[in-house]
Structure 1
Amino acid sequence: MSLDVVTAALAEHAAEHDRDASFPHDGIAVVHKHGLLTATVATRYGGEGAGLARTADILEALGAGDPAVALVTAMTLFTHAAQAREPSWPAELYDELLAESRTGPALVNALRVEPELGSPVRGGLPATIGRRDGDSWLVSGHKIFSTGALALSWLAVWGRTDEDPARVGSFLIRGGSPGVRIEPTWDHLGLRASRSDDVHLDGVRVPLSSFVTGGSADLRAWNALGLTALYLGVARSARDWLIAFLHERTPAALGRPLATLPRFQAAVGEIEALLVSASALVRAQAAAHDAGLAVDAGIGKLIGTRAAISAVEQAVALVGNNALTRRNPLERHLRDVLCARIHTPQDDTILAAAGQAALSQHSQLKEQTP
C-alpha cells in the first residue's frame, strides 16, 4: 500500500471539512481501512509494532492530505505506542479497544489541558477529580483543546483522586458515557476539522480499575518528531501546489510560465532546501530513537517546524494575492502550518533547555581542565 494513495484520498475532502469545521469521519475511515490507525499496536497484541520512523512517515503522508485527520490519528498512534512500551491499560480494557479497532475506527486521546491550569507541562495539578463511590470513581472536570473529542471511543482523562494523599493519573472513560458532554467551542485559525472541543465531565462513573497511574513510557520524542513530520507534510503540499501554479501561470506580457524564470526557480530551490534538510533531520532522529540512541527531539521539532512554516510563508510571498484566496489551498496550508508552534515542547522551552545544557557542559569541561 502506497501512502501517496492515502494522501490523495484525504486531500479530496480536506478543504470541505476545513471550510465547515466538520469532523473528517470519511478521512478517519480511510486511515482505518489502510491499517494505519493501529500501526503502532505491539506485535504481542497482533499489531504491526511500528516504531517512530514508520510513524513519522505515516503522519507526514496524512498531514500532506488532511492535517486534521493526521492529528487525530497521531493521538491514537501515540496511545498504542505507549502501551507497547510500558503497558498501563488494564488488560480487559485494552482488549476491548483492540476488538473495536478490528471492526472500525477506535480513536483514543489523552485529555490533559484545563482552563485554569493550561498546559500540564508547565507544572501544576489537575482540577479534574475522581471521587470514590463504592467500587467506582465519579469523575468530574473540564478539559479544553480535546482533539477529536466528539469521535473518541476512549478518553484518557488526566486527573487526581480525592484520596489523602491524592494520586495523579488517568481515568479511562468510554466516549459517550453518561455525564460526558462535548461543548463545540473549537473555532480556530487552523486545523479546524480536528474539532478540538471542550469536554465536560459531570460525575462520570467508571470502575476503580479504570484509573491508571503507570504508563510512564517516555514518548516525548514521538510527540515532538511525529507532529513535526505532520507539519512537514503540510508544507510539502504547499510546495506541490506552488510548483503546479508556477507551471500553469503564464502572464500575457511574459508569454511563458513563471516556472521558466530564474527568480522563481531559485525561490523554489530555497523552499526545497528547507524541506529536504528538515525532513532528513526528523527521519534521522526518528531512526536513531528506534535504535535506542539518545536524540534531542526538541531541537528536531524546532528546526523542522520552523522550516515548515518558513517554506509555506515563502510560497505565499512568492505567489501574492492568489496565495491568500480561499479557493486556493495555499491559504489553508498557511493557517494549518502555523499550528505547529503550539504543540509541546514549545520553542521557548526547547531553546532554554538547549542553552542550559550547552552552558552546563562548558562549566563541566572547565572544572575538569587542570
Structure 2
Amino acid sequence: MEQLQMTRSTQLKTKPATDQLGFGRHFTDHMLLMDYSKGQGWHAPRIVPYGPLTLDPSAMVFHYGQEVFEGMKAYRTPQGEVVLFRPDMNLKRLNHSCERLSIPQVDEKALLDAIRQLIVLEKDWIPEGEGNSLYIRPFIIATEPGLGVRAAHDYLLLVILSPVGAYYSEGIHPVRIYVEDQYVRAVRGGTGEAKTSGNYASGIKAQEVAEGLGFSQVLWLDGVEHKYIEEVGSMNVFFKVNGEVITPALNGSILAGITRDSVIHMLKSWGVKVTERRISVEELYTAWQEGKLEEAFGTGTAAVISPIGFMKWEGHEMEINGGETGDYAKKLYDQLTGIQRGELDDPFSWRYVVR
C-alpha cells in the first residue's frame, strides 16, 4: 500500500461529556479513506478531516447494496496503553464479507497499520470511565456510477471513530427475547455469514414488532424450516443446558462473531463442555420444561455479554434462571472486559497495543 497521507483538521470539535456519549452519536475529528479502481487496485490511503461525502446519485451502493463493514473498539488500559481486541479477526472477517459481496480484498496488515495511525491521532477521544471505549467502524462502499447489475469497478474504504458509553448504564442486566416465527433474516447460501448492511435492514421490521411487544431483541430461526435457532439480533447466542453450553454451529447463515469465538475459547479453558450444533427451539423449550435450561446469553462487540432472562416463543413464555444474570454470563463478562481493558492477564494474546 502507498504511504499514508495525512491532512489535519483546523477546527477541532468539543468532545462530549462521558455521561452523554450514547452509542454512535458522536464522531472524532478525522477519518481514514482509501480508493479502489479496477486496474489500479487499492490506492491513495489518507487521513482527512471528518466530513460529508460527495457521491454520484447513480453510485452502485445506493442501488445494489455492495457494502460491507466491521465493528471494533479501542480501550485505554490502567497503564496508559491504547489497545484493540483481536483486530486481526475483524479484518479477516471483513475480507470474508468482501468475497461474498464481490468486493476486492484489502491488505489486512496494511489496513490495520493505517487504523493504528488514525487511532494514535485521535487517542484523546478515547473516553475515560468504566465501560467506555472508542468504537471503530471500517466499511467499504461501491462508488462507481451506473445502473447495470454487476460488481462495481470503483470502491471507497472508510474508517470512522465514535466515542461510546457503556452498553448498560448499571452493569449487565438480562434482556427479554422474542422468538421470530414470521420474518426471515438469512438462509444458507445467502449473505447471513457476511457483515453487510442488507442483513441488518432485513431485520428492522421484526425488531420493531418485538419492541412493540415489550421485548429487547429478536431471536431468529432458520429461514427454511423456522425450527432451528440461529442468532439473537446482532449477537450470537449460547445456552447452558444441564451443565453443557450449546451454541448454534456456523452453517453459512450465521455471522462468525469475534466475541463468540472468544467465549468458546474461554469456556473450554475453564474445562466447560461447549458444543456447536443445531438446536431447535422445541428442544430448548423442552429443556426449560424439564428444568434443564439453566442459563442463556448473547455475545457481541457492543454489549460483550448480554444475559437472557426471558424468552417468548409462540404462546410459550420461558423465564430463565429466575430472570437473573447467570454465573457463566457474569464470569465471562468480567473476564473478557478485564482482558480487553488490560486489567487482567491476557493468556490468549488477544490484545493489540496501538502505542
Same topology, TM > 0.5: no
Structure ID, larger Rg:
1
Give the number of the structure whose residues are more often strand, by fraction: 2
Give the number of the structure whose residues are more often helix, by fraction: 1
TM range (shorter): under 0.3
